[in-house]
Amino acid sequence: MFLAAVSRPRFDINMKCIFDGKIGVWPFVEQSSAARSSKNRPKGTMLTTTVSVDSEVYTNMIVDHVIPAIKSKMPRCTQRRGVIIQQDNATPHRCVSTEMLKASRIHGVKVSNQPPNSPDFNVLDLGFFNSIQSLQHQKMTQTVEDLIGAVENAFHEMPADTLARTFVSLQSAMVKSIELHGMRDYKLSHLKKTGSVVGLSKTSLECPIAMYTDAINNLNSLD
């Protein structure tokens, strides 16, 4: 299992270059020595094995890897406004909250949980994972180390404009959700999402005022 963190690609005015939006991808693995010899390796050989992701493992990944990568890679102008980590609602993830980060003396970063049962609100599920998987499947893997290398290479090889287009798809999903009052039985509109990363980073889909007003009235009627 891997944890991936991305942001919307944009022009970094401080570094005068494109920030590709790729914060990082990390495997949930550990190193252990082989307890017995086999035909492939002697006893004591260091092995890479996967680990079950519980609250402690997930928290350590966020604090030790994701937060430092955000601080290192995100444009400074973005960090000054504050960074929000959106995570899904898997049980081990709920232990990571804004309050927990503050208690750990991590400032400038908040945590927001993805709406339950709403994969279209997760930019990774909207297509970025599929694109990475397609690249990863082009590489032969026989060991855990091979798989980790293939996934990491696919992540870094993915063009920034692919991620930029996925964020436009996320906006489309949000507009559709507003239109249908939170219902999920919709198909995403086919959008013409061509152009440069800078152009795509400035693309903002409009929600018609009548649609917005109707959604607000519907919410108020539920009180």
Could you tell me which CATH class the domain 2-31+46-221 is placed in?
A: alpha beta
- Which residue is listed with tokens 């109707």? 214
Residue range 147-172: average pLDDT? Answer: 89
pLDDT value at residue 111: 96
Q: Which of 122, 193, 120, 129 is nearest to 155 (CA)?
A: 129
Provide, rounded to the nearest whole percent, the portion of the chain with pLDDT above 70. 93
Q: How confident is the model at residue 106 (pLDDT cuts 50, 70, 90)?
A: very high
Task: Please give the Cα distance from 174 to 184 (Å, whole number).
Answer: 11
- Residue 133 or residue 95, greater confidence: 95
| Domain residue limits, the chain | 2-31+46-221
Q: What's the N-to-C CA distance of the chain in angstroms? A: 41
Work out whether the CA dihedral 18, 79, 122, 209 comes out positive or negative. Answer: negative
pLDDT of 194 strictly over 70: no
pLDDT tens-digit readout, 18-68: 999 999 999 999 988 877 888 777 887 888 889 999 999 999 999 999 999
pLDDT tens-digit readout, 211-222: 999 999 999 998
Contact 52, 37 (CB under 8 A): no
pLDDT value at residue 115: 81
